[in-house]
Amino acid sequence: MPASPDKLKLAKEHGQKAIYFAVARVPGSKRLFVGASDFKVYDLDLAADKVEPREIAAHGSYVTGVALAGKTLVSGGYDGKLLWTDIESRSTVRSSDAHAKWIRGVFASPDGTRVASVADDMACKVWDAADGRLVHELRGHKERTPHDFPSMLYAAAWSADGKFLATGDKVGHVVVWDAVTGKEAATFETPVMYTWDPVQRVHSIGGIRSLAFSPDGTQLAVGGMGKVGNIDHLEGKARLEVFDWRKGERLWEVQSDKFSGLINHLEYEPTGAWLLGAGGAGDGFLLFFDVKAKKLTRQEKASAHVHDVATDEARETLFAVGHNKVMVFEMKG
């Protein structure tokens, strides 16, 4: 039986001195790797009696992506670099000047053989996880918004079989790529997730912040927030849209009636019974969507803005990281 969101409860919190932007988990353990606002990558063992972050790598700016590929952790940051770190020796084995602008995320393929990085140079680059070789450079997103401001490429996700890779940008443009050939397989738009203010700030906010393929690969979930009145704040309602990506057809959409802010992480339960969305504005939230009923069934407040989530194999334990905290949620018993 799938883990039930009805049983969700906060099990533990660990206060930290930095904002954690990204997390990866060692399978079968409570050992986490996190990317932080103090430019460091940390090793956290939540099974230890005393949880103490141990630095294993350092970037020149915020560390906004971490992905585990076997015994290698690949991290990316606002310095445009990717670092390959051996998690056993805690030593960096490779450094790459991967992108010309800020890296927004790093994502390992399901089999751990490839790693994708997305950045504000509007490129998604696919790397061989073992030797750091560039496999594909994927460019299907415009560098400028419709109002001629720099755009941003926030999100990516692999299909469960590793055959497809989706990317999403600030103005709500999604591209699905054939991960083998590097060619475009489909494109579609989510314009509600982008707000342009032509009067007060002459600026924009929002964008696609998370993506997730359904377990069978037929649908693609897109996370962000709805339209914003005051673009100085993340006041748009947390928003989910789900597509038949091959047809470019929106199948359903939901906005939270309780929480404002960005959905920064999306993840399907392995059988496809439910979908988790996590994020925040001032506070954080966990949202659970019933996939069959196409509706939001649980909305739980988190004590900090959630930037990323790692889960155990059964999806019974959620490790949420964000502003100065690691939060552990359980859905057992």
Q: Are the beta carbons of 43 and 61 closer than 8 angstroms?
A: no
- 147 and 276 belong to one structural domain: yes
Report the C-alpha gap between 64 and 229 in whole angstroms: 27
**Is the pLDDT confidence value at 162 over 70?**
yes
Does residue 183 share a domain with residue 60?
no
The pTM is what? 0.97
Cα of 89 vs its chain's centroid, Å: 27
Place 333 in a pLDDT band, splitting at 50, 70 and 90.
low
**Mean pLDDT, all residues of the chain:** 95
Same domain, residue pair 207 and 330: no
Give the count of domains, the chain. 2
- Do 192 and 59 fall into the same domain? no
pLDDT category of residue 310 using cuts at 50, 70 and 90: very high
Token digits of residue 111: 């089999």
What does the pLDDT read at residue 98? 98
Same-domain status, 4 and 79: yes
43, 180: one domain: no
For the record, the structure tokens of 191 come out as: 């314009």
Tokens, residue 42: 């940390």
Q: What is the residue whose two structure tokens read 């693609």?
A: 220
| pLDDT at residue 200 in the model | 67
The phi and psi torsions of 5 (rounded to 5 degrees) equal: -60, -20
pLDDT above 90: residue 258: yes
> What average pLDDT does range 188-194 have in this prediction?
96
Which of 174, 184, 176, 274 minimizes the C-alpha distance to 224?
174
* Number of helices and strands in the chain (H, E): 0, 28
pLDDT at 201: 66
Q: Is residue 126 part of a domain?
A: no
Q: Are residues 259 and 154 in the same domain?
A: yes
- Say if 117 falls within a structural domain: no
**Are 34 and 166 within one domain?**
no
Q: What is the CATH number of the domain that holds 149?
A: 2.130.10.10
Task: Specify whether the CB–CB gap between 195 and 228 falls below 8 A.
Answer: yes
What domain range includes position 94?
1-101+308-333
Up-side HSE of residue 144: CA atoms within 13 Å toward CB?
4
Q: Is residue 116 part of a domain?
A: no
Instruction: Identify the residue whose tokens are 């751990």.
Output: 112
Q: What is the mean pLDDT of the segment spanning 267-291?
A: 96
Mean per-residue pLDDT, 177-199: 93
pLDDT in tens, 72-104: 999 999 999 999 999 999 999 999 999 999 999
Instruction: Write the pLDDT tens digit of every residue in 105-145.
Output: 999 999 999 999 999 999 999 999 999 999 999 999 999 99
Strand order in the sheet with 103-108: 103-108, 114-119, 124-128, 134-138
Question: Residue 204 — very low, low, confident or very high, per pLDDT cuts 50/70/90?
Answer: confident
Residue 166 and residue 75 in one domain: no
pLDDT at 332: 83
Say how many CA atoms lie within 13 Å of 251 toward its Cβ. 17
